[in-house]
Amino acid sequence: MPPTPYLFFDGHCQAAIDFYQKAIGAEVAMLVRFKDAPEPKPPGDDNMILHATLRMGGGEIMLSDGYAKGKPEFKGFSLSLTAKDPADARRMFDALSEGGSITMPLGPTFFSPCFGMLADRFGVGWMVIVQPAG
């Protein structure tokens, strides 16, 4: 079984889910709010997300508002999406970079006909790649 990234958004999980649904067509496979937890309930707003699973591109990520304090920092990793062609890569890259920052502009490299890196509006790192033919 492959490992599944689990991201904590410190109160911004619903906004992240909405963004990933719009940007890359993520599908909600599971969503549990704090109010749905058995007693004793976790501390925090009842509408905060205790756990969510999103499916995208054949993989999954898990998300939560969690118990983090302050702004979450997503450092030392990136999520990678494989696009079917450069146009698909451009669509995903542009959507994910809206409100974020581009680390490496999308374009051809020595290892891919189309590759780019960005941090989305939540600070999550993404790499978008088209696999070379052959």
Determine the Cα angle at 29 with ends 27 and 32, to 5°.
120
Question: 99: which DSSP letter?
Answer: T
* CATH architecture assignment, domain 79-130: 2-Layer Sandwich (3.30)
In the CATH hierarchy, which top-level class contains the domain 6-64? alpha beta
Given a cut of 70, the residues of the chain with pLDDT beneath it are: 42-44, 67-68, 134
CA–chain centroid gap for 32, Å, is: 18
Instruction: Give me the pLDDT at residue 71, please.
Output: 78
Burial 20-52 (b: 16+ CB within 10 A, else e): beebbebeeeebebbeeeeeeeeeeeeebbbbb
d(CA 75, CA 2): 21
Instruction: Give me the pLDDT at residue 117, please.
Output: 98
Beta bridge partners, 7, equal 63
Could you give the residue range(s) of every CATH 3.30.720.100 domain in the chain? Answer: 6-64
Token readout for 122 is 């939540």
Question: Could you tell me if 69 and 11 are in contact, meaning their C-beta atoms sit under 8 angstroms apart?
Answer: no
Instruction: Give me the pLDDT at residue 68, please.
Output: 60
Q: H helices of 1-129, where? A: 13-24, 86-97
Say what the pTM is: 0.91
Instruction: Give me the pLDDT at residue 123, please.
Output: 96
Instruction: Give me the pLDDT at residue 132, please.
Output: 86
Could you give the residue range(s) of every CATH 3.30.720.110 domain in the chain? Answer: 79-130
Of 101, 79, 103, 105, residue with least CA distance to 24: 79
